[in-house]
Amino acid sequence: MPDAMFTAEPDLLFDATRDGSSGLRTEEMLINMGPQHPSTHGVLRLLLRTDGEMVVEAVPHIGYLHRCAEKIGENVQPYQFIPKTDRMDYLAAMNNNHVFSLAVEKLLGVEVPERAGYIRVIMAELNRIASHLVAFGTYGLDMGAFTAVLYAFREREYILDLFEAACGARLTYSYITIGGVTFDLPDRFLERLTEFLDYFEPKIDEYDRLLSYNHIFVKRTAGVGVISAEDAIAWGLTGPCLRASGVKWDLRRGMPYELYVRLDFYIPVGRPGGGDIPRGVVVGDCWNRYFVRMQEMRESVRILRQCIAGIPAGEVRAKVPKNVKLPADEVYFEGENPRGQLGFLVVGDGSPIPWRVKARGPSFCNLSITSHVCRGVLLADVPAIIGSIDIVLGEVDR
Amino acid sequence: MTPEETAGLIGSAFPDALADAPMDTLHPAVGVVAGRWHEVALFLRDDPRLRLNLLRCLSGVDRIAEGRIELVYDLMSIRPGGEGEAWSCGVQAAVRIGVPRDGGSLPSVADVWPAAEWHEREVYDLLGVSFSGHPDLRRILCPDDWVGHPLRKDYVFPVEYHGIPGSTEFGQRSPRH
């Protein structure tokens, strides 16, 4: 800091740090945030150029978790690649298995049995709730509300128990696979799922009272990091980040896959303040990105109840030989993950091993808008913005 | 709109910009000449019949036997519905561009779809294709001092990187204690 700062009149000092209009010069400082920082949700490094409390420029540096999963994908057979998809977005492993399986099934022309389709949607929606619970809890942590995460992890535990009962794993499932799912549901699974939904649904109101409408939380997130609908589309944002900007677009509705065409659910979008939305909230801000996820949990519960009512008996896996030769063709398939549209480009060349597997991670695209949004915000708003985008670095870096 | 119709629209606006690309696949894409890509991209985004506003994915595929790297752009047009209704997908299209493996380059479309900025950096990093006019073309996933482009089919994994043992043709190298 220049010496003049200490001798200046208090008013002048205030003006100088605000906008520099008094002629006093503040020095720019480079701050390295991460890669080991609690609010970067993993190994993300941000290089911030700051002018006092203001961020002039934010440059994200990624790749700390890069394992080149795509290179592995072109050295193994598709069913062997499914465990690698678990490790991309590890908070939504079921959804990753699902989208990759659908892509390969499209390439092979495999029809999935109806019961398997229902089980897949049940698992995908349960995982969506589990993933949004982590987003909700850790976002509370980022904003200094330490209670939320305890509730979020308590509820998530029930979901992980259900997953464990179905496939034995609690984080990396590899349960949904090419042609269906690996095992049928265990005994009493649907009853336990119903019990969980009856228990969980009123809890969402509790979270709203605890965090969503908390005055301090609203102050920290409302009107912060606003992304317009045009910007969101231009930067390739998808999922809750896109919907929070007022774009009512969901692949499950827009280009339905699996059974979603039969299921009835509402697509929550960002709304301006007023009515039951806190004052100061604008479309596309951090609060809306957070709140869209809270509403999506309710919609997932609705979808799950419809699946429980409609699930038929039958086979859970189509007959797909393990050593199946992939046709010399190419598919691109996208599905709606908790974080947005996950896409896989699978290129076959007539051998059992794909020529190329490309993953389009929603976190990767959503994160790319960071430097655009973080320009000119307060330093303390950077964790609010990063947290609201809800990235998983395992998928950003692949 | 079918891919043939999309190709027809591009062809009527830029007759010399179309390149050969197979259409009878599960993922039909319009072939475009690398040098004309920027103008075509602007047309795809702004033409009222297309309005492809969302760049979903950019994939690079190493076609080593043909000596080129193929870039596949997946695009989509999402449009608002009525008041309170869901948005819908108007047009889907894919574009396929081939560039030579050695010194291949094509115009960047980061100014057309800002989403392309990171996708292009990824292709540059992993496949070694350069994008002219890119605002900040540097490696994104691999470290800045990494040698080679890992997704090329003739890529050789390094034996060592800053003292970290890599692998050899005999498999994983045993760590030195």
Identify whether A193 is part of a domain.
yes
- pLDDT higher for B124 or B172? B124
pLDDT in tens, B88-131: 887 888 999 989 988 888 999 999 999 999 999 999 999 989 99
Q: Within an 8 Å CB–CB cutoff, is residue B27 touching chain A?
A: yes
Torsion-angle region of B137 (φ positive above 0: left; ψ -120 to 50: alpha; else: beta): beta
Cα(A295)–Cα(A251) distance, integer angstroms: 17
Verify whether the Cβ–Cβ distance A235 to B115 is below 8 Å: yes
Has residue A147 been placed in a domain? yes
pTM (2 d.p.):
0.88
Q: What is the CATH number of the domain that holds A83?
A: 1.10.645.10
Contact A66 B85 (CB under 8 A): no
pLDDT above 80: residue B177 = no
B142-148: average pLDDT: 88
- B19 at A interface, C-beta within 8 A: no
Residue ranges of the alpha helices (H) in chain A?
A: 4-7, 10-19, 69-73, 78-86, 93-108, 114-142, 147-167, 189-207, 215-221, 229-234, 240-244, 251-254, 286-310, 362-367, 370-373, 381-389, 393-397
Specify whether the CB–CB gap between A303 and A121 falls below 8 A.
yes
What are the b/e assignments for B38-52, b being 16+ CB within 10 Å?
bbbbebbbeeeebeb
pLDDT tens, A295-320?
A: 999 999 999 999 999 899 888 888 88
Q: Whole domain around residue A309: which residue ranges?
A: 69-360+377-397
Contact A247 B87 (CB under 8 A): yes
Higher local confidence (pLDDT), A293 or B50: A293
In chain A, the percentage of residues whose pLDDT exceeds 70 is 94
pLDDT bracket for residue A197 (50, 70, 90): very high
Mean pLDDT of the region A178-199 = 91
In chain B, which residues have their Cβ closer than 8 Å to the Cβ of A248? 80-81, 85-87
List, for residues A219-272, the tens digit of each pLDDT value: 889 888 899 999 999 999 999 999 999 899 998 888 888 888 888 899 999 888
d(CA A220, CA A223): 9
Q: Is residue A313 part of a domain?
A: yes
Burial call A7-29: b when 16+ CB within 10 Å, e when fewer: ebeeeebebbbeeeebeeebeee
Please name the residue that has the structure tokens 């992980």.
A160
Give me the mean pLDDT over the B129-152 stretch.
89
Domain ranges of chain B: 3-172
Q: What is the mean pLDDT of residues B44-56?
A: 88
Asked if the Cβ–Cβ distance from A63 to B94 is below 8 Å, we say: no
Q: Do B25 and A355 touch (CB under 8 A)?
A: no
ipTM of the complex: 0.87
pLDDT at residue B1, rounded to an integer: 77
Number of domains in chain A: 1
Q: Model confidence over B26-45: pLDDT tens digits?
A: 888 888 888 889 989 999 99
Q: B56, B89, B138, B152: best mutation site toward chain A, by most A Cβ within 10 Å?
A: B56
Q: Select the CATH number that applies to the domain covering B3-172 from these four: 3.30.70.600, 3.30.460.80, 3.40.50.2030, 3.40.50.2300.
A: 3.30.460.80
The pLDDT assigned to A53 comes to: 85
- d(CA A124, nearest CA chain B) in Å: 22
